[in-house]
Structure 1
Amino acid sequence: MARQQLLHLRLFLLSSPKPVLLNPLPSLTSSSSSRNASSNPISRNRVWTLTTPRRADSTVTSLAEEILSSSTNDLSPDLASVLESDSARSIVHPSINGFPFLELLSLLKRRPLLALQVFDWRRNLRDSTPLIAEEYASAIALAGRAQNLSLAVKLFNESKPTANKPILYNALMTAFMYNGEVNRCISLFHELKKETKYGPDTVSYNILLSLYGYHILVDQMESVLRDMDSSGIPRSVVTYKILMCGYLRSRRWKQMERIFGSFKEPDMSTRLLMLRGYAIAGKLEKMERMYELVKGEVHAQEMSLICAMIRAYSKVRCESSLRKIEELVKLIREEEYFPHLHIVLIMVYAKEGLIDEMERLIFDANKRNIVISSHRVIRTILSVYYKCGDVERLGSFINQAENAGWSLSKDLYRCKMILFSRLGRLTEMCCEVDKMDSYWPVRDRYTLKILYKGFSDAGRMWEMNMVIGLMFKYGFRIPQDAVVG
C-alpha cells in the first residue's frame, strides 16, 4: 500500500506547479486511541513514507546517465543504440524492487521529450511485458511537461481500457494543470467521479485543491475540501502541505500556523514552508526561532528563503535588522544571486540614509545590468540626496539612471532644481528645465513654481515676471505672494 501511495505521489509531483491553498479546516488531530498510524495523516511513519523517495537501482541510474550523456539533443540518433543494449532491455520487466522502467522515466523527467522517446521505444518493443497503467500515467505526465496535451490525451484514451484505478485520470489532470487548462482539469475530475469501477482518490483531490489554491479561488477550495471529507477520502500529508501553501499565498497566517501545529513531528519541507510564511508575514521572532531549526538546510539549498528573510528584516528600521541583513547577504553565493535582492538592499541603505553603501550598490547594479523600473525605489533613493543636499552626487546618479535605462520621473530633475536654487546656481537650475523638456515637453505648474521660488529668493524680479507670464499662458494658478512689476 505504501509503495502505491508513493507512486501516486511521484506522478502528482512530476509536473504540477507549486501547490497553494486556502480554507478553514477542522481539527487535524483525533482523540480516538483506536485510530492506527496508517490512517493518521500526521503520523511519523506516514510522513516518512510520503516524503522519502526510494533510492533508484544502480543499473537504472547508470542507464539514465548514459542516455542523457549520449543524447545532446532530444532527437539524437545515438539514443537508439543505447536502448538496444542488454541493460536497457532488462529494465522493462518488473523486479522485486518495483518497476525499474518507471524509475528511468523519473530520472529523465527534466528532459521530457527525451523521456517520451524512451517510452515510445518501450511501447513498441517486441516480446516484452504489456504496458501497465503506471507507465502510461508517467508518459501522460511527461507529455504535460512537454506541453503536448494532444499526446497526453491520446495516451490517456489508449490506456484507459487497461486501468482499474484513477491513476490515469490523475496524470492527465496534472498535465492539464501544468499547462493552465483549468476548465479541462475540473471537467476531467467530474468525469472521474462518474466512473462506476472507481472514483477520485486522495491524489485526485490534492490536484484539484492545488489548482484552486494556486488561483486563490477560496470558495471552490472550501467546496472541494468539504466534498473530500464527506466522500470519506482520507487527507494525506501532501494535502496539508497544499493547504499550507494556499494559506501562504492568500496571506492567512493563523490558519497556516494551525495546520503546522497539528503535525506531531513536521518534516523539513514543512518547516521550510512555515519559515517562508513567517518571513512574508513579518513575524520576525517566530521566523528567527524557525530559522534556528532549519539553518543547515536553508544554507545548503534554500537561497530563496534567505532572500525572503532579508525582505522581512528590510521592513523594520533598526540597527539590529541591518546587521542581520548583512549577515544573511554573506550566505548567498554568486551563482544564486537574485537581481530583486539588489533592489531590496538599495532600499534598505537608502532608508537608513547610508549614502555611500547605497551608491556602491547602485554602481554594482549598473554593472549587473539591473534595470529599476519602480518609481517608489527611485523616490526613496532621491530622498537621500535631497536630505544631504549634495547636488553633484544627485547629478551623477541621474546620469547613471539615464544611461542604464532606469525609470525616470520629473521628481529627479525637480529635486536637482531645488538644490541648485538653494546654492544660488540659477543658470544650472534653468538648464534642468531644458532636460525635462526632452522627456516631458508639456510644462507643469510644480516645475514653474520651483523656478518662481528660486528667482524670488534671489530677488530676480524680471525672471519672476517671466515665470508668472508662463503660468498665465498655461492656465495655472499663480502663487499668492506673486507681485507683477
Structure 2
Amino acid sequence: MARHQFLHLRLFLLSPPKPLLLNPLPSLTSSCNPTSIPISRNRISTLTTRRRANSTVASLAKEILSSSANDLSPDLASLLESDKARSILRLSTNGSPFLRLLSLLKRRPLLALQVFDWRRNLRDSPPLIAEEYASAIALAGRAQNLSLAVKLFDESKSTANGPILYNALMTAFMYNGEVNRAVSLFHKLKEETKYGPDTVSYNILLSLYGYRVLVDQMESVLRDMDSSGIPRSVVTYKMLMYGYLRSRRWKQMERIFGSLKEPDTSTRLLMLRGYAIAGKLEKMERMYELVKREVQAQERSLICAMICAYSKAGGDSSVRKIEELVKLVREEEYFPYLHIVLIKLYAKEGLIDEMERLIFYANKRNIVISSHRVMRTILALYFKSGDVERLDSFIKQAERAGWSLCKDLYRCKMILYSRLGRLTDMCCEVDKMDSYWPVRDRYTLKILYKGFSNSGRMWEMNMVIGLMFKYGFQLPQGAVV
C-alpha cells in the first residue's frame, strides 16, 4: 500500500497520466493582430462575422452539453436540425466554426462524434476538409474507438491528404497505448511521396518515447528530425525536457532548457518541476520567483512538489519555507500523502508538538499511514524523548485508526518501561504483540531478558532463557545457564 501511494505521488509530480495528446491541428480560430495591418471596412466586417460565428458556436455547444444528459439523447437530433446549427456551416468555408464546436465538445467525445456524423451526412454542406477529419479521428481515439479512427482515416484519404491526418491517428493510437501501431504509422508517413512528417509528427513521436522513458529512441528521433531539415518548435523542446525529466537526467534537461533563447512560461514550469524532483533547492527557488504567479494560478501541483523537495532536505529553513507553502494549499488540494510528508518532516526535525497536532488532524481526516518507514520515524522521536505515556497514546491512536503497526512500536515501549522499572507493564506489551504476531522472536525475548537482568529478577531471567532454548534462539551474551 505504501509503495502504491509513493508511485501514485511520483506520477502525480512528474506529469499528468495522459501527456501524449499533442494537438495535431493548426490553430484555425486565432485572429490576426488588428494593429499589424490597416483597418478597413472589409477587415471590420470580417472581425464582426468571426465574433458572431464564435458566439453562435459557443451558444450551440452550451445547449448541446446541457440538453444531452447522456451521449444518446434524442434532444441532440432536434438541436442539430435547428437554424443555429445549420448557420455554423454557412458562416465560413474553411471549417473553423465547426472545428471550434468539436473542440468545445471534446470532453464528451461520443457526443462530439455524433455531431461530426451529422456534419458528414448533411446534404448541401461544404465537403469535409482534412482538419475536420483529423479532429474526428482524435475524438475517436479519446472515445477508445480505434476501429472508427482507422475507418475515418481511410475515408479521409479519398478527399483529403497531408500529415495532419497521420498525426491525428498517431495520437489516437498513443492515447490507447498502441505504441507499435503509432510508430508503424509514422514510418508509413515517411514513405509518402507527396508529403512527409512535419514538426508535429516528430513531436508526437518524441512525446511517446519520452513518456515511456525510452531516451535513446527519443534522441534518435531528434537526430532524424534535424537531418531531415524539419524545424524544431517550442513543443519539441518541451517533449525533450519531459523525457529527460521522467528519466531523471537533470543535466540533459538543463542543457535543453539553456538552448532556448526565450523560454516561455510552460518551459520554466517544467524546469521548476525538474529542480523540485532533483532536490536542487537553490535553482528551484530562483525559478519559482520567475513563475510564482503562474504556479499559484495554474500549476498548483508544483506547490506540493516543492514541499516534498524541502521535506527531503530538512532543516529549520526548510520547515519555515514549507509552512509558507502550506498556506497556499487549498482544502481540496490537501492530499493525504502531503499530510503524511509533513508528519514525517516534523518527526525528523524533533518537533513533537507540531507532529502530534498533525497526527490529531490526520485522525480527523481519516488519513491512514500505511508506511512502516513513516511509523518508525515517528517512533524514533518518541523513543528519543523517553516519554512512554506519549508513545502509548500514539500507539492507541494508530490501533484505532487502522494504521500500519510494527513490532518496533511495542518493543520501544517495552524498553522505556524497563528503564522505568515498570516490569509488569513491560510484560503486558508482550501479550499485546501476541495478538498481532503470535510467533515469538529473539529480539523481543532479549528485551525481556535485559529488563529482568537490570532489576535482578533471576527467576524471570531463567524463564526467558528457557524460552530461548525452546525456540532455538541464540542466548544473550553473558547469560548464565
Cα pair 2:442 2:473 within 8 Å, conserved: yes
Cα pair 1:136 1:156 within 8 Å, conserved: yes
The 1-side partners of 2:360 and 2:110 are apart by 43
Deviation track 1:15-62 (CA, whole Å, cap 9, x = no partner) reads: 993269xxxxxxxxxxxxxxxxxxxxxxxx9xxxxxxxx999222122
In the superposition, the TM-score normalised over structure 2's length comes to 0.86
1:406 and 2:403 correspond:
yes
2:158 paired residue number = 161
1:275 and 2:272 correspond:
yes
Cα pair 1:16 1:175 within 8 Å, conserved: no
Task: Write out aligned runs for 1:303-314 (5 A).
Answer: 303-314=300-311
2:287 paired residue number = 290
In the superposition, the TM-score normalised over structure 1's length comes to 0.86
1:371 paired residue number = 368
Please report how far the alpha carbon of residue 195 of structure 1 lies from its aligned counterpart in structure 2 after TM superposition.
2.2
Identify which range, 306-315 or 118-127, moves more after superposition.
Answer: 118-127
Please report how far the alpha carbon of residue 92 of structure 1 lies from its aligned counterpart in structure 2 after TM superposition.
2.9
2:239 paired residue number = 242
1:416 paired residue number = 413
1:329 paired residue number = 326
The 2-side partners of 1:81 and 1:362 are apart by 57
Cα pair 1:186 1:208 within 8 Å, conserved: yes
SS of structure 1 residue aligned to 2:291: helix
Deviation track 1:78-133 (CA, whole Å, cap 9, x = no partner) reads: 22222222221122356278611111111111121221221122122222112222
The 1-side partners of 2:436 and 2:86 are apart by 68
What is the letter of the counterpart of residue 409 of structure 2? L
The 2-side partners of 1:227 and 1:263 are apart by 20
Cα pair 2:95 2:132 within 8 Å, conserved: no
Cα pair 1:19 1:242 within 8 Å, conserved: no
1:481 and 2:478 correspond:
yes
Residue from 397, 402, 423 that aligns with 1:426: 423
Q: Structure 2: any 5+ residue segments left out of the alignment? A: 1-15, 22-32, 34-49
What is the letter of the counterpart of residue 18 of structure 1? P
Cα pair 2:58 2:101 within 8 Å, conserved: yes
Residue from 97, 102, 114 that aligns with 1:105: 102
Cα pair 1:93 1:100 within 8 Å, conserved: no
Please report how far the alpha carbon of residue 343 of structure 1 lies from its aligned counterpart in structure 2 after TM superposition.
1.2
SS of structure 2 residue aligned to 1:358: helix
What RMSD in Å do the two structures reach over aligned CA positions?
Answer: 2.1
Deviation track 1:150-181 (CA, whole Å, cap 9, x = no partner) reads: 22222222222223201111111111111212
Gap change, CA 1:93 and 1:381, over 3 Å in 2: farther
Cα pair 1:169 1:189 within 8 Å, conserved: yes
Cα pair 1:115 1:142 within 8 Å, conserved: yes
What is the letter of the counterpart of residue 254 of structure 1? K
Cα pair 1:314 1:322 within 8 Å, conserved: yes
What is the letter of the counterpart of residue 474 of structure 1? Y
Residue from 207, 211, 218 that aligns with 1:221: 218
What is the letter of the counterpart of residue 71 of structure 1? S
2:184 paired residue number = 187
The 2-side partners of 1:120 and 1:400 are apart by 59
SS of structure 2 residue aligned to 1:92: helix
The 2-side partners of 1:140 and 1:216 are apart by 26
Identify which range, 65-74 or 211-220, moves more after superposition.
Answer: 65-74
Please report how far the alpha carbon of residue 385 of structure 1 lies from its aligned counterpart in structure 2 after TM superposition.
0.9
Cα pair 1:349 1:358 within 8 Å, conserved: yes
The 2-side partners of 1:248 and 1:392 are apart by 46
SS of structure 2 residue aligned to 1:430: helix
The 1-side partners of 2:170 and 2:257 are apart by 28
What is the letter of the counterpart of residue 269 of structure 2? L
Deviation track 1:211-256 (CA, whole Å, cap 9, x = no partner) reads: 1111111221122111112222211110001111111111122221
Cα pair 2:89 2:95 within 8 Å, conserved: no
Task: Write out aligned runs for 1:351-366 (5 A).
Answer: 351-366=348-363
1:453 and 2:411 correspond:
no
Higher RCO structure, 1 or 2 (CA under 8 Å, sep 6+): 1
Cα pair 2:206 2:218 within 8 Å, conserved: yes
1:34 paired residue number = none
Cα pair 2:20 2:175 within 8 Å, conserved: no
1:254 and 2:255 correspond:
no
Instruction: State the number of aligned residues.
Output: 438
Gap change, CA 1:16 and 1:63, over 3 Å in 2: farther
The 1-side partners of 2:20 and 2:343 are apart by 32
Gap change, CA 1:274 and 1:173, over 3 Å in 2: same
Cα pair 1:93 1:99 within 8 Å, conserved: no
1:81 and 2:82 correspond:
no
Identify which range, 433-442 or 275-284, moves more after superposition.
Answer: 433-442
Cα pair 1:16 1:174 within 8 Å, conserved: no
1:5 paired residue number = none
The 2-side partners of 1:477 and 1:355 are apart by 37
1:470 and 2:473 correspond:
no
Identify which range, 328-337 or 193-202, moves more after superposition.
Answer: 193-202
1:207 and 2:192 correspond:
no
Gap change, CA 1:72 and 1:288, over 3 Å in 2: same
Cα pair 1:452 1:464 within 8 Å, conserved: yes
SS of structure 2 residue aligned to 1:315: helix
The 2-side partners of 1:303 and 1:162 are apart by 45
Please report how far the alpha carbon of residue 449 of structure 1 lies from its aligned counterpart in structure 2 after TM superposition.
0.9
Please report how far the alpha carbon of residue 413 of structure 1 lies from its aligned counterpart in structure 2 after TM superposition.
1.5
Deviation track 1:161-204 (CA, whole Å, cap 9, x = no partner) reads: 22320111111111111121212211221222222232221111
The 2-side partners of 1:448 and 1:411 are apart by 13
Gap change, CA 1:140 and 1:404, over 3 Å in 2: farther
What is the letter of the counterpart of residue 379 of structure 2? L
**4+ aligned runs moved over 3 Å, structure 1:** none
The 2-side partners of 1:313 and 1:186 are apart by 40
Residue from 344, 368, 390 that aligns with 2:341: 344
1:131 paired residue number = 128
Please report how far the alpha carbon of residue 424 of structure 1 lies from its aligned counterpart in structure 2 after TM superposition.
1.7
SS of structure 1 residue aligned to 2:184: helix
SS of structure 1 residue aligned to 2:206: helix
Gap change, CA 1:458 and 1:130, over 3 Å in 2: same
